A and B are shown apart, each in its own frame.
Chain A
Amino acid sequence: MNESQLLTDMAAIIAMSAPLLLATMGVLIGERAGVINLSVDGSMLLAGMTGFAVALTSGSVVLGFVAAALVGAIVATLVAYLGISMRLSQTAVGFVLALLCTDLSSFLGNPYVQQQGPAVPAWDVPVLAEIPVIGPLLFQHDVVIYTSMMVVLVLAWVLRATRVGLLVRGVGERPDALFARGIDVVRMRYVAVIVGGVLIGLAGAAYTLDLKQGWTYRHIAGTGWIALAIVIFGAWQPARIALGCYLFAVLQVMSSRMQANTWEIPTQVLQVAPFVVMIVVLAIVNSMGTPWMQRFLAHAPARVRRILTRISQPAPAALGQPFEQQ
């Protein structure tokens, strides 16, 4: 493999990760505020289908993205209402909505299957695109891909350095304390989940209007579940989650590369390789706090111990629990 091929591959990886970045950031916002939106997989499909249908009928890609964001927000509002206000199990509600939205997307999207539709045009960033290596890598894509990278940076900054970020983290960690200081915990969570839903909706449209350019039944089914897993892998830290998204894309490119070579393994098997890696990585990351790992760490060299303990970060303390007013 020569250098220009490597550069093309890496640029492709960055482009492929864009929808996943949007979706994981959407999941992250909700989870940092203490709410699991398990509906991502179906939500993305329904939003992607709606976005494509709207863009196709109106001829406007922008309107498509607006519609997709709206669908994501509506599903998120349902999750919030049932999970926060009605205090139903967030897991149950999210799971059922994931299946329901998937079927809805198949049913309502029936007329739009395999139609030619509008897509996001490529747009090089002026000046920056001319820089060697970095230009083709980062600045010769389209607006959706630039936006997804911006979202990660902005979200990392908001969570770390602003009052709003502090409040979001607060309602996810210690809702009682914030309530005692006069913060409306329930409203805060609603806002976080719905903003997250908007990003999840945009992620769906990023597939149908940009990356995959078109709509077929369940074509991105599974991506939402991967997004949820990457958030855990990334220990609820934006930068690490972004890294997880890129790693996942690397795996996908690698498995399609191996198919191109004449390997003994049937092609279909390699497509499940990223999931095996996902389980193994989740197992390693999550087992840090367990007693047997602690025993192992006690015998491990200090440097190994430091690295391993840094990998593991606990989930937001109030994740998945409804807020009970005292």
Chain B
Amino acid sequence: MGFWGSSGRGLANGLLPLLGKEMRGRSRNWRFPLALSLYLAFLSGVIMFFLSLIYRMGMVSSQTGFLFYGIIVFGLVLLLAFITATVSATAISGERDRRTYDLLLATTASPTGIVLGKWLASVIYLLFLVVAALPLLAVVYLYGGIPLVALGTAMALCILTGLGYGALGLAYSAVLKRSQAAIIFSLVTVFGLIFVTLVAGGIGAASHGQPGPVPQVVPVQAEHPGWYIYLSPLSAIPAAVPGGLRPVPIMGELVSTLNRLVSAGLTQGGLWVGMDTTMVVAEGFTGWPSWTKFALFQGVLTVVCLLIATLAVNPLPPWRARKIRRRKAEPYC
């Protein structure tokens, strides 16, 4: 059997049984339905809260549906980011904790097959969560609805978020020995990627502009948005919200407040930069829509993390094996 045939077999020997086992295990475990129920209860709670707020303040207008949709997508993305990272952070370290890791590595499943099997199992879990949230998104149709393209973009954004952060959790799970450490590192990193990048972007934007009041009207594109803000899925949310120029109010308020806290004054544009898809007129990378930039970074994050996990799982790392092959055994006296 050639290299490709052998690699393909190793991949299939890891991917197929692991995927099947994880799915079967989750369907039998009480934790999965419980987590799903809590997730839906939390999302429903958020929706109920905002519904009551809107009615109490008499804010029902033609834009209510969009506003509402933005809030749901915002909450969904945040939940999925943290849930997927947590789930995948126990995928490989959990095998170590259970003492089944050696048994798995002793099979003919390749490290790539094992990593992809674990990752896809986490991704399928993510898909369950996304699909389960769809009925909640239907609430926006009470207020006029949203185009299907926007809904598709939102789903793609959720899945991209889950794929990248799932791979991140898996990399920590493979590199760190204990599940608890892997979970903590994953959550801290995800928090950093989602929020710290935006705050850093705010500070960066503040240093390029003049201090001034918070813009009350349509924000203006600043000159040099930091590329790192596209590591945050929040930077891509406006692309999933119909209405083009309209940023997500809740997020905008949150980020503006953060920005005000860390800088002397808010610059014109500030953190609206990068969230807006239609205002960008620049060419090249800066001219790309925000969600494509986020997709690119998420793709890179996914590939890098899966590569790290594969190398960490391999009991015979290629570079060390090569070193031993070169070294001749010394005669034992």
Are both chains from one complex?
no
